[in-house]
Structure 1
Amino acid sequence: MNVTQALNNQNSLLLSFFSPTMVTLKASYMVKPTKETPTGLMYLSEFDQLVAITHAPTVYFYQPSGELTLNSVIHTLKDSLSKALIIFYPLAGRLQWIARGRLQINCNSMGAQFFEAESEAKIDDFGDFCPSSKIRALIPSVDYDRPIHELPLLLVQVTKFSCGGFSLGLGISHILADGECAGHFISEWARIARGKKPENFPFLDRTILQLEDPLLKTSFDISDFNPPPLLIGHSNNTEERNKKTVVVMLKLSKEQINKLKNKANEYRNSETSTNRAFTRYESVTAHLWKCACKARQHESKQLTKIRIPVNFRSRLQPPLPKWYFGCAALPVATTTTSGDIVSKPLSYAAEKLREVIENVTDEYIRSCFVFLKNEPDLSKFRYFHIVGSSQGVFQGNPNISVTDWTRLPLYGADFGWGKEIYMVPGAIGFDGKAFILPGRDEDSSFLIPWRLQETHMDAFKKFFYDDI
């Protein structure tokens, strides 16, 4: 058997995203913990069960260094990963289905998949690092038609560029980790790679989120989990799913963000917004929603829904342990008409966001758990993160979904050769999806990768900048 056949057989569960003119797969390994770790089945909370069965893709770019060879990078990353998986051992396991459309982790130390690749490209070829097929080729992709118990929960790809620089592409199971957990894992892995001992051990017992309370009076709003509105005159979203979409990297300076914040707070109703000014995130997200409605040219009575995840770690009483390793972001949503979003001041959309964010209280989280616990099958609530997918809940036109990454530890992944020069999400999954990231230079700016139907993008960009 030759090398190519061996790689093809070993990685049959992976779809090839490698363009023969851009990225070439050189080797593949399964990295396992260097020491024996706990085995057996691990509980996943009801909040873990809501998340898409996909891998969150991110890419870190590192500048060329004459003292650094690909072999030394691979050795350092593999060796440190095998040590990091001792304390983050669920990432070396596999998911498996149980009753009622739910999942659990089989902690079996099967390992993380690690790829070594080379590219003819230079780092400069990636321009503004907008998520694209070029960026996506730097991260392993999974064939989700395979049985779930065969899929690694952590995927790693190191790609060396012709300029001497390289990228570290990661795919981390959405089910196992939200953004805060992923940042925690990468930080500890990098620390180990630098020859230091782990500093902040993860809290792995997810049973802490078994929040049963038969006497609890529910305050949970089922509408948060209802299917999003369809375009007027449509009986399904098939047509919208199939329309061509494009991704852009929007950039907002500190001055532009402050203008939007001032604009949102100009007509703020202090009686309904807890007398606290709208945040930068609320103001910019409201602006995204308003510009999307204008660009899509909705009828005034068109219902439009925005979906946002709210980190509830500190909202529970008592709060979750600081280094809790699991999904602790509850998706919430609010719906109104496009006519109201477009015609009313920016404070209207910001107020809609504020209402659902502040609704995520200890009581709300607990009542949500009770609701989910009693649901016979949670699969109907899961959404999917793959462009063009026919699976899962579709969040596209006339709706949007915005994830706040402004408070996550996104930058500073130093594995021993300095911090990354750039970090970006590897993909933006569907029409109307955006992430809000802090600017790389710590200058209070925002970067916003945003996907929209191609026919609407030019109009959207005009409104987005002209209406500030």
Structure 2
Amino acid sequence: MASIFETKRVNVYPKTIQPSKIIKLTNLDRQCPTLMYLVFFYKLSYNHKLVNDNYVFNSLKLSLEETLSEWYPAAGRLWKNPNNGNKLDLWCNNGGALMVQAFTHAKFSEFGNLSQYNHFFENLVYKPIYNNGDNHNNISEMPILVAQVTKFGCGGYSIGIGTSHALFDGQATFNFVSTWASKTHFNKHQGIIINGLECPKPIHDRQILLNITNNQTPIKNNALSKVAAIQHLYQLIIQTGPYDHMVKNPQLFVPSIEEDCVLSTFHFSAAMIESLKRRVHGVQSYSASVCTSFEIVTAHLWKARTKALRLRKERMVCLQFAIDTRTRLTPQLSQAFSGNAFVLASVALTAGELELASYETIVSKIKMAKNCVDNEYVRTYIKALEGSGDALPPLRELTIVSDWTRMPFHKVNFMYPYVNGAVSVCPLTPPVPQVAYFMQSLDHDKGIDVRIGLNPQFLTDFSHYFLAIS
């Protein structure tokens, strides 16, 4: 495989420097302070293959400086705040993001379908080295936003971006990269338009979520049992049997000791989705409003994955999926909120019950789990995350889904007017590779691309069960 050659590494600071300040984080932010990476691929036409590399890099650097003036926390650092119990908070100190320029002789054609993960893609992002021992870098010295611009031998470009999950959730990441792309030299006349709407200025303050969490009203005795995501997780841990230490405070996004995973992307076409929807109430009473595409594909994936793993019928199996609380809280969070606003909803059955359950039953349970997410659910959920968190034991029985279909990352165009959009956007290996990500399909057929990590021994069976729609 071809090598990557780094030619430049620079710090990028906000064009307008903001006063230094501390933003208190919530436990949702502290769940996963590691960097999450996306790689955008842009294939230039023959007429544009001689675009000057430095011009592209400098344009992106200047637009990032402008973007950081409003998204200034991304130029800051995480910090163990001694005034807040040594908890991680966000130190907006204008420490700067980091950008790398690189090139490779490799060509896009060598990788086939760019939507399929390839380990070489890990070289298309800059990965800061973090050590927390004596005489080593500590977390307050590490950038929480990094980017790498790589020119390929075929004339194409990749832009690999890493953002700390303590800084942004998926929706905020999409808003950030969309804003950055809109401010490139080429795009400035286009304005900042996201999903057909002008993007408002980001709101970085976490106070609404902190107020909900700090509400002094005693949590009801049965409140924790109503937060199904936490209750089911403890039940799964107990079911695994003896573990080398007691998991006192499990956190989903703390990397676990896990078997090898292969990251694969499966295309689920609009026709396949409609076929599944008709199973919910039959052809005669079919209505597209009976269930969403997310609900039916999630139900189908849960069935397919559980069947592929060949779990014993009496084993408890659990489906957990991320819910955006921005519109579910009172008062509501703005869509411009830049922190972490997702919690997990949860459904549990035995493997035998899941195998026999109709799609209508599973979709109904998914809807019920969604509807449970309110202020009290979020408050109890966030409080349950208090503490440093222990790594989970391997839990094959746990299926996790994250919905990115409302975030069309492939339409984020850092290279306008040379291209109409990215030919592919590839998430790199997440902290929990078993999570299934639902993304908008690039095939323009209103389908869904599902990225999931699976043990190689189960990959063939899962592919068969997941894609076989009769």
TM tier, shorter chain? 0.7 to 0.9
- Match among 63, 66, 70 for residue 83 of structure 1: 66
- Per-residue CA deviation, residues 154-174 of structure 1 (Å, 9 max, x unaligned), is 010111100010100011110
- Match among 64, 71, 89 for residue 104 of structure 1: 89
Q: Compared with structure 1, are the counterparts of its residues 394 and 155 closer, same or farther at alpha carbon in structure 2 (3 Å cutoff)? A: farther
Paired residue type of 2:24: Y
In structure 2, list runs of 5 or more residues that go unmatched: 133-137, 193-198, 246-255
Q: Compared with structure 1, are the counterparts of its residues 188 and 158 closer, same or farther at alpha carbon in structure 2 (3 Å cutoff)? A: same
Question: In structure 1, how many angstroms separate the alpha carbons of the residues matched to 2:142 and 2:237?
Answer: 33
Shift of 1:242: 4.5
Report matched runs for 1:286-365 at 5 Å. Answer: 286-365=299-378
Shift of 1:97: 1.6
Residue 53 (str. 1) matches residue 33 (str. 2) = yes
CA contact (8 A) 1:435 1:449 kept: yes
Q: Compared with structure 1, are the counterparts of its residues 392 and 264 closer, same or farther at alpha carbon in structure 2 (3 Å cutoff)? A: farther
Report matched runs for 1:24-423 at 5 Å. Answer: 24-49=5-30, 51-64=31-44, 65-98=48-81, 99-100=84-85, 102-129=87-114, 130-146=116-132, 147-193=138-184, 194-196=187-189, 200-209=200-209, 210-211=211-212, 212-215=214-217, 218=220, 219-220=223-224, 221-225=226-230, 226-227=233-234, 229=236, 234-236=241-243, 241-266=257-282, 277-369=290-382, 371-372=383-384, 377-380=386-389, 392-394=391-393, 396-415=395-414, 416=416, 417-418=418-419, 419-423=421-425
Question: In structure 1, how many angstroms separate the alpha carbons of the residues matched to 2:395 and 2:108?
Answer: 32
Question: In structure 1, how many angstroms separate the alpha carbons of the residues matched to 2:117 and 2:238?
Answer: 27
Question: In structure 2, how many angstroms separate the alpha carbons of the residues matched to 1:409 and 1:436?
Answer: 11
Q: Compared with structure 1, are the counterparts of its residues 452 and 76 closer, same or farther at alpha carbon in structure 2 (3 Å cutoff)? A: same
Q: What TM-score do you get using the length of structure 1 for normalisation?
A: 0.84
* Counterpart in the other structure of 2:195: none
- Per-residue CA deviation, residues 221-258 of structure 1 (Å, 9 max, x unaligned), is 354224462596652399x9443221211011110011
Residue 465 (str. 1) matches residue 467 (str. 2) = yes
Count of matched residue pairs: 428
Question: In structure 1, how many angstroms separate the alpha carbons of the residues matched to 2:130 and 2:344?
Answer: 23
Shift of 1:362: 3.5
Question: In structure 1, how many angstroms separate the alpha carbons of the residues matched to 2:55 and 2:270?
Answer: 39
Q: What SS does structure 2 have at the residue aligned with 1:334?
A: strand
Q: Compared with structure 1, are the counterparts of its residues 291 and 187 closer, same or farther at alpha carbon in structure 2 (3 Å cutoff)? A: same
CA contact (8 A) 2:24 2:90 kept: yes
- Per-residue CA deviation, residues 69-91 of structure 1 (Å, 9 max, x unaligned), is 21111110111111111110000
Shift of 1:121: 1.5
- Per-residue CA deviation, residues 184-224 of structure 1 (Å, 9 max, x unaligned), is 11111111112357663111222122224333664453542
- Per-residue CA deviation, residues 113-153 of structure 1 (Å, 9 max, x unaligned), is 11111122212223222123122221222434342112211
4+ residue runs of structure 1 moved beyond 6 angstroms?
A: none
In structure 1, list runs of 5 or more residues that go unmatched: 1-18, 268-274, 381-390
Question: In structure 2, how many angstroms separate the alpha carbons of the residues matched to 1:100 and 1:228?
Answer: 30
CA contact (8 A) 2:229 2:344 kept: yes
Shift of 1:260: 1.6
- Per-residue CA deviation, residues 427-463 of structure 1 (Å, 9 max, x unaligned), is 2444532101111133211111111111111111111
Shift of 1:178: 0.7
Shift of 1:367: 4.5
Q: Compared with structure 1, are the counterparts of its residues 242 and 327 closer, same or farther at alpha carbon in structure 2 (3 Å cutoff)? A: closer
Question: In structure 2, how many angstroms separate the alpha carbons of the residues matched to 1:262 and 1:22?
Answer: 49
Question: In structure 1, how many angstroms separate the alpha carbons of the residues matched to 2:34 and 2:366?
Answer: 27
Question: In structure 2, how many angstroms separate the alpha carbons of the residues matched to 1:231 and 1:432?
Answer: 20
Q: Which moved more, 1:286-295 or 1:347-356?
A: 347-356
Paired residue type of 2:74: L
Q: What TM-score do you get using the length of structure 2 for normalisation?
A: 0.84
- Per-residue CA deviation, residues 75-112 of structure 1 (Å, 9 max, x unaligned), is 10111111111110000000012355631011111111
Q: What SS does structure 2 have at the residue aligned with 1:378?
A: coil
Q: Compared with structure 1, are the counterparts of its residues 449 and 237 closer, same or farther at alpha carbon in structure 2 (3 Å cutoff)? A: farther
CA contact (8 A) 2:263 2:433 kept: no
CA contact (8 A) 1:264 1:346 kept: yes
Question: In structure 1, how many angstroms separate the alpha carbons of the residues matched to 2:431 and 2:50?
Answer: 37
- Per-residue CA deviation, residues 46-66 of structure 1 (Å, 9 max, x unaligned), is 3323x3121121111111223
Q: Compared with structure 1, are the counterparts of its residues 252 and 231 closer, same or farther at alpha carbon in structure 2 (3 Å cutoff)? A: farther
Q: Compared with structure 1, are the counterparts of its residues 337 and 169 closer, same or farther at alpha carbon in structure 2 (3 Å cutoff)? A: same
Q: CA RMSD in A?
A: 2.8
Question: In structure 1, how many angstroms separate the alpha carbons of the residues matched to 2:395 and 2:325?
Answer: 25
Q: Which moved more, 1:298-307 or 1:84-93?
A: 298-307
Q: Which moved more, 1:224-233 or 1:317-326?
A: 224-233
CA contact (8 A) 2:100 2:147 kept: yes
Shift of 1:467: 4.6
Q: Compared with structure 1, are the counterparts of its residues 264 and 379 closer, same or farther at alpha carbon in structure 2 (3 Å cutoff)? A: farther
